[in-house]
Amino acid sequence: MSKTLAEKIWADHIVRSAQGEPDLIYIDLHLIHEVTSAQAFDGLRLAGRQVRRPDLTIATEDHNTPTLNIDLPIADPVSKLQVDTLRQNCAEFGVRIHSLGDAEQGIVHVVGPQLGITQPGMTIVCGDSHTSTHGAFGALAFGIGTSEVEHVLATQTLPLVRPKTMAITVDGVLPEGVTAKDVILAIIAKIGTGGGQGYVIEYRGSAIRALSMEGRMTICNMSIEAGARAGLIAPDEKTFEYVRTKPHAPQGADWDAALEYWKTLKTDDDAKFDVEISLKAEELAPFVTWGTNPGQGLPLNSSVPNPADIADIEERGAAERALTYMGLQAGAPLKSIKVDTIFLGSCTNGRIEDLRAAANILKGKKKADSVRMLVVPGSARVRLQAEQEGLDKVFIDFGAEWRNAGCSMCLGMNPDQLAVGERSASTSNRNFEGRQGKGGRTHLVSPLVAAATAIRGTLSSPADL
């Protein structure tokens, strides 16, 4: 029977299937970080269980880690305890860990691909919803809770109900200045934050194929913001080439065998998706959110919407609350909005291409006096690469702060936070109330819009410069 890509990967990982029960699915890679693992390791200890496959498990420190003075002990004692607990757990259970200061430390979803342990056709989980990022390689990758983290540690499997499948096709050529981030923000605005619930999304079409691996990661990363558990893109020559040069790529005969399998990883021509949606690349534009959920976004050239124009009562109420929280007036042009902070980073847009794209806009310019800009590479390796290319100097000359790797202001668990009422243009993934700091106001943008906004002090695209 013909299958979609997600169905093929699912079928290849069924350990056990029984009538009336969820399928037991094998997990090829388990990524771990400090926030969602402590209670899982504790559960193992209480039950006298071991980590079944330390060789399919890897940990890094990212959510809590400071981006300044990383050679000093973590100042916040509670954050320090959580990171120390991860280190102790990894030592006790024999799990590989990349700690602060290590060249491979960084955001878990940046680390996996750069080590080459993210490969096509795998099942990948992590106690973090943005695990969907790894779907860019044609892997079935999704976030799990701490109970499931414990389950995977103990058994290397998860009992799961087979998800439905959704195809989102973007055909055509993206206009100049329109990035992967704009594409996914437009998709979320179209289908809503609940639109993907219960589905694995496969992104297809010529505009998706034309994206680099890093752009594809940006798209898949925000599948969760559309409510989907996972998003994926069929692997192609770009994918194979990206993996081939990484430390954990298969070698010799293993490479040949892997490649043969990877080339089968595409949706069959006559396979049926449960839902199909399509967008035209030519109609997309730089996108920005105005509200407090990632579905509340519009093209940057538009104005703040008037809640009175929204027919759905529930959505209208949400829009009214959002405008109050965001301190915005209906009808004001989005480009008139002044921001205080620019955050360039996160698992959505903290990779080398994102830094290059922003640096290219900022080079030789000075930031607006009214803004501060934080540049936080997604991993220590990305930071090193950027420094080799001289990007750090571009950012510093521009007036930005060049920081160490981690999740940083994306979720404000470390000291990098917005103050009450402060407004950011952020390349991260969530504009929820207080996400970047209590009372903080977030506008989600692409790295290009972040850079242009840093120059002008108001939400802007490079075309406005």
**Stretch 315-374 residues interacting with other proteins (CB under 8 A):** 315, 317-318, 321
Per rule CB under 8 A, is residue 128 in the interface with other proteins? yes
On the 0-12 / 13-18 / 19+ scale of CB atoms within 10 A, 31 is buried
Per rule CB under 8 A, is residue 412 in the interface with other proteins? yes
Give the residue with the Cβ less far from other proteins, 215 or 291: 291
Per rule CB under 8 A, is residue 50 in the interface with other proteins? no
How far is CA 337 from each of CA 64, 132, 290, 375, 441, rounded to the nearest angstrom? Answer: 30, 31, 10, 21, 12
Select the residue interacting with other proteins from 3, 38, 385, 462 (CB under 8 A): 38
**In Å, how far from its chain's centre is CA 443?**
16
Give the residue with the Cβ less far from other proteins, 52 or 393: 52
Per rule CB under 8 A, is residue 159 in the interface with other proteins? yes
Give the residue with the Cβ less far from other proteins, 102 or 397: 102
Tokens of 277: 């949606």
Reading phi first (left if > 0) and then psi (alpha if -120 to 50, else beta), residue 69 is in left
Give the residue with the Cβ less far from other proteins, 207 or 322: 322
Select the residue interacting with other proteins from 23, 62, 150, 214 (CB under 8 A): 150
The Cα–Cα gap between 168 and 461 comes to 26
Whether the CB-CB separation of 34 and 63 falls below 8 Å is answered with yes
Neighbours of 388 (CB within 10 A): 9
Select the residue interacting with other proteins from 8, 229, 266, 443 (CB under 8 A): 229
Give the residue with the Cβ less far from other proteins, 63 or 351: 63
211: Cβ contacts below 8 Å, ≥ 6 apart: 180, 219
Give the residue with the Cβ less far from other proteins, 180 or 407: 407
Select the residue interacting with other proteins from 99, 129, 306, 385 (CB under 8 A): 129
Sign of dihedral through CA atoms 170, 172, 178, 179?
Answer: positive
Stretch that binds other proteins, among 166-174, 181-189, 220-228, 443-451 (CB under 8 A): 220-228
Give the residue with the Cβ less far from other proteins, 321 or 356: 321
Alpha helices in 94-164 (DSSP H): 108-115, 146-155
Q: Which of residues 160-199 bind other proteins (CB under 8 A)?
A: 161, 193-194, 197-198
Select the residue interacting with other proteins from 70, 154, 210, 463 (CB under 8 A): 154
Per rule CB under 8 A, is residue 65 in the interface with other proteins? no
- Least distance from other proteins to the Cβ atom of residue 318, Å: 6
On the 0-12 / 13-18 / 19+ scale of CB atoms within 10 A, 116 is middle
Give the residue with the Cβ less far from other proteins, 38 or 463: 38
Give the residue with the Cβ less far from other proteins, 116 or 172: 116
Helix 237-244 to helix 213-221 angle (10° resolution) is 100
Select the residue interacting with other proteins from 181, 430, 443, 456 (CB under 8 A): 430
Tokens of 210: 């034309």
Whether the CB-CB separation of 116 and 7 falls below 8 Å is answered with no
Q: Which 8-state DSSP code applies to residue 80?
A: H
Give the residue with the Cβ less far from other proteins, 182 or 225: 225
Select the residue interacting with other proteins from 82, 346, 379, 446 (CB under 8 A): 82
Per rule CB under 8 A, is residue 307 in the interface with other proteins? no
Q: Which of residues 392-411 bind other proteins (CB under 8 A)?
A: 411
Per rule CB under 8 A, is residue 119 in the interface with other proteins? yes
- Least distance from other proteins to the Cβ atom of residue 54, Å: 6
- Least distance from other proteins to the Cβ atom of residue 145, Å: 4
Per rule CB under 8 A, is residue 74 in the interface with other proteins? no
Whether the CB-CB separation of 308 and 216 falls below 8 Å is answered with no
Give the residue with the Cβ less far from other proteins, 85 or 360: 85
The Cα–Cα gap between 174 and 47 comes to 53
87: Cβ contacts below 8 Å, ≥ 6 apart: 97, 99
Alpha helices in 94-137 (DSSP H): 108-115
Per rule CB under 8 A, is residue 127 in the interface with other proteins? yes
Per rule CB under 8 A, is residue 24 in the interface with other proteins? yes
Stretch that binds other proteins, among 183-191, 222-230, 267-275, 279-287 (CB under 8 A): 222-230
Which is nearest to 342 in space by CA: 462, 450, 421? 450
Q: Checking DSSP bridges between strand 157-160 and strand 140-143, what pairing results, if any?
A: unpaired
Select the residue interacting with other proteins from 16, 45, 280, 366 (CB under 8 A): 16
Per rule CB under 8 A, is residue 277 in the interface with other proteins? no
The Cα–Cα gap between 115 and 187 comes to 30
Q: Which of residues 376-395 bind other proteins (CB under 8 A)?
A: none
Alpha helices in 199-312 (DSSP H): 206-209, 213-221, 237-244, 252-262
Per rule CB under 8 A, is residue 138 in the interface with other proteins? no
Tokens of 121: 């056709």
Stretch that binds other proteins, among 38-46, 335-343, 383-391, 395-403 (CB under 8 A): 38-46
Whether the CB-CB separation of 138 and 7 falls below 8 Å is answered with no
Per rule CB under 8 A, is residue 33 in the interface with other proteins? no
